[in-house]
A and B are shown apart, each in its own frame.
Chain A
Amino acid sequence: EIVLTQSPGTLSLSPGERATLSCRASQSVSSRYLAWYQQKPGQAPRLLIYGASSRATGIPDRFSGSGSGTDFTLTISRLEPEDFAVYYCQQYGTSPTWTFGQGTKVEIK
Chain B
Amino acid sequence: EVQLVESGGGLVQPGGSLRLSCAASGFTFSDYWMHWVRQAPGKGLVWVSRIYGDGSSTGYADSVKGRFTISRDNAKNTLYLQVSSLRAEDTAVYYCARGKLSFDSWGQGTLVTVSS
Q: What is the size category of the interface that chain B forms with chain A?
A: 20 to 34
**Which one of A19-27, A74-82, A96-104 contacts B?**
A96-104
Choose among A56, A97, A100 the residue that contacts B104 (Cβ–Cβ < 8 A).
A56
The chain B residue sitting closest to A49, CB to CB, is: B102
0/1 per residue, B71-96, Cβ < 8 Å to A?
00000000000000000000000010
A-contact 0/1 string along B87-115, CB 8 Å cutoff: 00000000100011111111111000000
Q: A44-B107, A44-B108, A103-B44 are in contact. Are A95 and B102 (CB under 8 A)?
A: no
**CB within 8 A of B59: which of A39, A90, A97?**
A97
Within 8 A of B (CB), among A34-85: 35, 37, 39, 43-47, 50-51, 56-57
The prevalent SS among residues of B at the interface is: strand
B45 touches A32 (CB 8 A): no
Q: Is the CB of A100 within 8 A of B101?
A: no
Residues of A within 8 A of B (CB): 32-33, 35, 37, 39, 43-47, 50-51, 56-57, 88, 90, 92, 95-103
The 8 closest A-B pairs by CB, nearest first: A35-B102, A44-B106, A98-B47, A50-B102, A100-B45, A92-B101, A47-B104, A103-B44
B interface residue numbers (CB < 8 A to A) = 35, 37, 44-47, 50, 59, 61, 95, 99-109
